Structure 1
């Protein structure tokens, strides 16, 4: 039985660093949304039909293999809560893992726009996400999505039974991870480091 933790929130809110902390504390495997994006961009070019299809297949196969082989997984995702297809996608992931006997945990992060614009240009982000090295485009994309989409739930709104929302504007990633672990009563796996973070 595999568990899935989705770390969700707008661009540059800190999903990757929180997910990395959860990975190391829980010994879960991790797939960033940008793992499939960067790979498909590299092969098929930016935002081409082939890129979009490969990106979708990459993720679908990864989730199905995690369930098949009982691999606990962390996934980072930007959800537009005003778009039904985004919520339907998350619901499909929840169903996939729960129908196989696992659990689905939804971690929603929020931070001020000022803080997100600062984090958008941090060296760690640039290192891990090649597409973000074009800072001018990345900043414009961040601002455009913030203007056009609902990237966080409303106060008191809850999308899933296991849903925690954390304002991490002034929190370190380890602090956020500890809150998540405590909230859901998560227990670390017994895995060698090479089994969950090989080459990272």
Structure 2
């Protein structure tokens, strides 16, 4: 009976919500996600929750990334069938890589099969600001693999040169889409902007 009532409650306020929160490394995705979690009923699932679980066993190997994808997809499948309000998933989307587009499409399909509402929120910030955020206390507490600052800074700069980690105008065509330049905006304010814009 409790589960039925929970499902009815979700139905009354709309379908289960998937918030895809993406952008380059150290743009502030996790921190914004933490603040959004505080002011909504959404659960935060940031990308390093799987990366930092598997990296100690397999390093940054192809097997680690394969397992990371499998873990995420299974979590999404199970969560999309619950009566919870929704989930925030943070990740880095390389727009020049087909496999990243395929992953996003697959995640969306998982949730769409269960009638979920999907929101695309993209963050962008100046590279100098991202380099500052790369070594913030909150980031290092929640992301053990980022504690080797020189290495993580090198990875950040290399990906900046190698991949396109923000979309171009009109590239993302979903209706529920919001792009925010948060170079000079605190995470708390960004979260409030997202909540207000989508009424979540």
> What TM-score comes out, normalization by structure 2 length?
0.88
- 1:2-41, aligned counterparts within 5 Å? 2-41=16-55
Q: Which residue of 1 aligns with 2:124?
A: 110
Q: Choose the corresponding residue for 2:74, options 58, 61, 81.
A: 61
Kept in 1, the 8 Å contact 2:122–2:178? The answer is yes
Q: How far, CA to CA, are the matches of 2:198 and 2:131 in structure 1? A: 30
Gaps of 5+ in 1: 187-200
Give CA-to-partner distance per residue, 1:15-72, whole Å, 9 cap, x none.
0010001111112111110000000113x22123442232122111110111111331
- 2:108 aligned with 1:94: yes
Secondary structure of 1:7's partner? strand
- 1:119-198, aligned counterparts within 5 Å? 119-186=133-200
Kept in 2, the 8 Å contact 1:28–1:73? The answer is yes
> What TM-score comes out, normalization by structure 1 length?
0.88
Deviation at 1:92, TM superposition (A): 1.6
Kept in 2, the 8 Å contact 1:2–1:66? The answer is no
Q: How far, CA to CA, are the matches of 1:164 and 1:23 in structure 2? A: 17
Kept in 1, the 8 Å contact 2:34–2:44? The answer is yes
Q: Between Structure 1 and Structure 2, how many residues are aligned?
A: 185
Give the RMSD, CA atoms, in angstroms.
Answer: 1.3
Q: Which residue of 1 aligns with 2:5?
A: none
Deviation at 1:157, TM superposition (A): 3.5
Q: Which residue of 1 aligns with 2:8?
A: none
Gaps of 5+ in 2: 1-14
Kept in 2, the 8 Å contact 1:30–1:73? The answer is yes
Secondary structure of 2:128's partner? helix
Q: How far, CA to CA, are the matches of 1:109 and 1:149 in structure 2? A: 16
Q: How far, CA to CA, are the matches of 2:171 and 2:66 in structure 1? A: 32
Q: How far, CA to CA, are the matches of 1:127 and 1:45 in structure 2? A: 21
Q: How far, CA to CA, are the matches of 1:13 and 1:52 in structure 2? A: 22
